[in-house]
Structure 1
Amino acid sequence: MVSLNSPLLIIGAFLLLTLVVGLTSKQATTFRAYAVDTKRLSTVKLLATLLGTSFCGVSLLSPVEVCYSAGLSKVVLTFMRALTLWLTSLMWIRMAPFIQHLSIAGTIGSIYGKYPRIIVALLATCSAISVVKDQINAISTMITICLDSINPTVITVLATLTLMLYATLGGIRSVTNTDVLQCITFVIIIALIAKLMFEKIDNPTLDIVSFLHNQEKFKLSSLFHRDRQPLNLLFYIPFSCFIIADPGNIQRIYMCASPAQVKKVFLYGSLLYLVIMFFVCLIGLFVFAGNPTLSIPKIWPYIISNMPSCFKISVVICVLGMAMSTADSYLHLCSVMVAHDLMESIRGVKPISYLLQIRVAKLTALACGSLAMLIAIYSSGLLIDHRIAHALNIFDTIDGSIIPPLFILAVFGFRGTARTALIGIAIGILASLACNQWGFTIGFAARLTPAIANSLGMMAAHYLLPQPAGTGWVGLDAQQKRIQQLTKAFKRHKKILDLE
Structure 2
Amino acid sequence: MRLYTTTFLMVLAFLLLTLVVGLYVSQKPTTFRTYAVGNKRFHTTTLVVTILATVFGGGALMRELPNVHELGIHRIVFLCARPVSFWIMSLLGLRMGPFMEHLSVAETIGSVYGKYPRIIAALLGICFSLGIVSIQINVMSSAITMCIDSIDPRMVTILATLILITYSIFGGVRAITITDILQFATFTIIIPLIIKLVFLKTDQSFLGVVSLLQKQEKFQLSKLFHFDKKLMKLVFDDLSIVFMLTPSVLQRAYMASGPIQVYKAFLRVTLFSFIIFGAIVLIALLVFIGNPTLSATEIWPYILADISPVYKGCVLICLLGMTMSTADSSLHAAAIMVSHDMVESIRGIKVASYLCQLRVAKITTLVVGLLAMIVTVYYPDLFELTSFVFTFFFSFFVGSVIPLFILAVFGFRGSTHTALIGMGIAVLVDFSLEQYLKPKIGICFAFFPLIANFLAMMVAHYLLPQPAGKGWIGHSRQQKRMQQLIQAFKKYKKSIDLE
For the aligned pair, the TM-score class normalised by the smaller chain equals: over 0.9
Q: Which of 418, 421, 424 does residue 420 from structure 1 map onto?
A: 418
Following the alignment from structure 1 to structure 2, what is the Cα–Cα distance between the partners of residues 51 and 168? 22
Deviations 1:399-445 (A, max 9, x none): 33211111111112211000111111221222222122215389873
Q: Deviations over 1:283-340 (max 9, x none)?
A: 1111221222222221111111043332112221111111110000000011110111
CA contact (8 A) 1:222 1:228 kept: no
Partner-residue secondary structure (3-state), 1:438: helix
Map Cα deviations across residues 211-268 of structure 1 (whole Å, 9 max, x no partner): 1111111111111112363345543554244323x21111110011121111111111
With over 3 angstroms needed to count, the CA separation of the structure-2 counterparts of 1:281 and 1:443, relative to structure 1, is: farther
Q: Who is 1:195 aligned against?
A: 196
Going from structure 1 to structure 2, the CA distance change for 1:31 and 1:456 (only over 3 Å counts) comes to same
2:57–2:325 contact (8 Å) kept in structure 1: yes
What is the correspondence of 1:64-213 to structure 2 with a 5 Å cutoff? 64-213=65-214
Q: Is the CA contact 1:413–1:474 (under 8 Å) kept in the aligned structure 2?
A: yes
Q: Deviation at 1:392? A: 8.6
Aligned match of 1:345: 345
Distance 1:420 1:377, change over 3 A: same
Aligned to 1:295: 295
Cα distance per residue 1:15-47 (max 9 Å; x no partner): 100011111114122111100001111112111
Whole-angstrom distance in 1 between the partners of 2:472 and 2:444? 28
List gaps (5 residues or longer) in structure 2: none
Query: Contact 1:71/1:217 (CA < 8 Å) preserved in 2?
Result: yes
1:151 maps to a residue whose letter is D
Q: Secondary structure at the match of 2:243?
A: helix
Does the 8 A contact of 1:242 with 1:405 survive in 2? no
- 1:6 aligned residue: 6
In the alignment, structure 1 segments of 5+ residues that lack a partner are: none
The separation in 1 between residues aligned to 2:63 and 2:236, in whole angstroms, is 21
Q: Indicate how the Cα distance of structure 1 residues 432 and 478 shifts in structure 2: closer, same or farther if over 3 A, else same.
A: same
Answer with 426-435 or 51-60: which moved more: 426-435
Aligned residues: 495
- Report the AA paired with residue 484 of structure 1: Q
Question: Which position in structure 2 is the counterpart of 1:333?
Answer: 333
Alignment of 1:479 onto 2:478: yes
CA deviations on 1:155-188 (whole Å, 9 max, x unpaired) are: 1101100000000100000100000011111121
Change (3 A) 1:344 1:315: same
Kept after mapping to 1: 8 A contact 2:187/2:322: yes
- Cα 1:349–1:291 change in 2 (3 A) is closer
Task: Give the C-alpha shift of residue 381 in structure 1.
Answer: 9.0
- Amino acid in the other structure paired with 1:380: P
**Match for 2:406 among 402, 408, 412?**
408
Q: Distance in 1 between matches of 2:296 and 2:332?
A: 35
Residue in structure 1 matched with residue 320 of structure 2 by the alignment: 320
Shift of 1:201: 2.5
Q: Secondary structure at the match of 1:467?
A: coil
* Residues in 2 aligned to 1:390 and 1:103: alpha-carbon distance in whole angstroms: 25
Distance in 2 between the 1:336 and 1:350 partners?
Answer: 14
Shift of 1:490: 3.3
CA contact (8 A) 1:136 1:373 kept: yes
Does structure 1 retain, via aligned residues, the 8 Å contact 2:125–2:397? yes
Let me know the Cα RMSD of the aligned residues. 2.4
Residues 56, 325 of structure 1: 8 Å contact kept: yes
- 1:76-105 Cα shifts (integer Å, max 9, x gaps): 212322111111112222111111210000
- 1:8 and 1:124 map into 2 onto residues whose CA distance is 35
Residue 224 and residue 3 in structure 1: after superposition, are their counterparts in 2 closer, same or farther (change >3 A)?
A: closer
Structure 1 letter corresponding to 2:230: Q
Residue identity in the other structure for 1:398: F
Cα deviation for residue 391 of structure 1 reads 9.3
> For the structure 1 residues 393 and 67, does the alpha-carbon distance in structure 2 shift closer, same or farther, using more than 3 Å as the test?
closer
Contact 1:80 1:236 in 2 (8 A): no
Aligned to 1:35: 36
Q: Does 1:462 align with 2:461?
A: yes
d(CA) in 2 for partners of 1:121, 1:377: 25
1:361 match: 361
Q: Shift of the alpha carbon at 1:364? A: 1.1
Contact 1:143-1:316 within 8 A present in 2 as well = yes
Amino acid at match of 2:194: I
Q: CA deviation at 1:489?
A: 2.6
2:446 pairs with 1:447 = yes
Could you tell me which residue of structure 1 aligns to residue 488 of structure 2?
Answer: 489
- Residue of structure 1 in register with 2:51 after alignment: 50
Name the SS for the 2:379 alignment partner. Answer: helix
- Against the structure 1 CA distance between its residues 467 and 146, is the aligned structure 2 distance closer, same or farther, given a 3 Å change threshold? same
2: CA distance between counterparts of 1:118 and 1:405?
16
* 1:136 Cα deviation from its structure 2 partner: 0.3
The AA in structure 2 aligned to 1:248 is S
Describe the superposition over 1:123-169 as per-residue Cα deviations: whole angstroms up to 9, x where unpaired.
Answer: 11121111101110111112222223332211110110000000010
On the 8 A contact 2:53/2:184 being kept in 1, the answer is: yes
Q: For residue 351 of structure 1, report the CA deviation from its aligned partner.
A: 4.3
Residues 492/89 of structure 1: CA separation in 2 closer, same or farther (3 Å cut): same
